[in-house]
Amino acid sequence: MTPRLSVSDLAKAYDGLQVLDGLDLEVGKGEFVSLLGPSGAGKSTLFRLLTGGRPDRGTIRLDGAPIAEQTAPFAFMPQRDALMDWRTIIGNASLGLEIAGVPRHEARARVAPLFAEFGLSGFQHHYPAQLSGGMRQRAALLRTIVMDRPMLLLDEPFGALDALTRAGMQRWLAAMWQRHRWTALLITHDVREAILLSDRIYLLSPRPARVVAEIHVPLPRPRSQADLATPEALRIEARLLDTLLDPSQGQIP
């Protein structure tokens, strides 16, 4: 079966600095895949290339066709939440639909029923500054999924949250994914987050980024933080950490 996303031999240099060099990866339909790598490994560069940047080399295909021929294949959730201070939560959530030309009233009517599932009931007309960090992230994710694109790109969505809120959000996202089975590619440098959420994890080398390991996470779903303490999960965590911290990878933590 053709994978939803297939990236092959992707390379990109900025100002003479080779950021990506021969990156290959695939994401199947309905699969949750994480990209795990040291900071500055070029994970965000991959997202730049997926969302309109030009690679120096390599191809990106969505359902077998080059992405240049696709219209708006990805729903992107940037690092931090990038909510607009000046729009209410429902205004933020319906932003993607409005940009796509859906009239404002219709866009809001389409988004409104989803507020309960995202734990945002009653906050439709609040401004982002009135919400907690976790709620802001849920609003940002709501804004991402209502666009109804073939695939989600999540760039360290929980990186800026405190540890407790982050754990809560990871559990919540795991449950949401269980129900909706979005095709998703997640950038993270949180090993346990990757294990909790992913079907598969790609480990990237330090710059220039290449895939150094591909790890399946066969833990049964639905998962919770407790499943991270099973022997299977601990073995995967140890292997991920070993590879990430391996001095032969040139990374000194």
Per CB under 8 A, residues contacting another protein are 48, 51-52, 71-72, 74-76, 78-80, 82, 84-86, 95-96, 99-100, 127, 129-130, 147, 153, 160
User: Least distance in Å: CB of 150 to another protein?
Assistant: 13
Q: Which is nearer to another protein, 136 or 207 (CB)?
A: 136
Instruction: Please give the C-alpha separations between residue 58 and each of 5, 50, 96, 102, 218, in angstroms, as whole numbers.
Output: 14, 12, 29, 35, 30
Q: Which is nearer to another protein, 76 or 172 (CB)?
A: 76
Q: Which is nearer to another protein, 92 or 205 (CB)?
A: 92
Which amino acid makes up residue 182? W
In angstroms, rounded to a whole number, what is the distance separating the alpha carbons of residues 217 and 201? 7
DSSP string, 47-61: HHHHTTPPPSEEEEE
Q: Which residue in this structure is represented by tokens 């073939």?
A: 150
Q: Which is nearer to another protein, 80 or 192 (CB)?
A: 80
User: Least distance in Å: CB of 76 to another protein?
Assistant: 4
User: Least distance in Å: CB of 214 to another protein?
Assistant: 26
User: Least distance in Å: CB of 82 to another protein?
Assistant: 4
Q: Which is nearer to another protein, 22 or 78 (CB)?
A: 78
Burial grade of 13 (CB within 10 A; 0-12, 13-18, 19 or more) = middle
User: Least distance in Å: CB of 47 to another protein?
Assistant: 9
Who contacts 35 (Cβ-Cβ below 8 Å, separation ≥6)?
25, 43, 46, 185, 186, 187, 188, 201, 202, 204
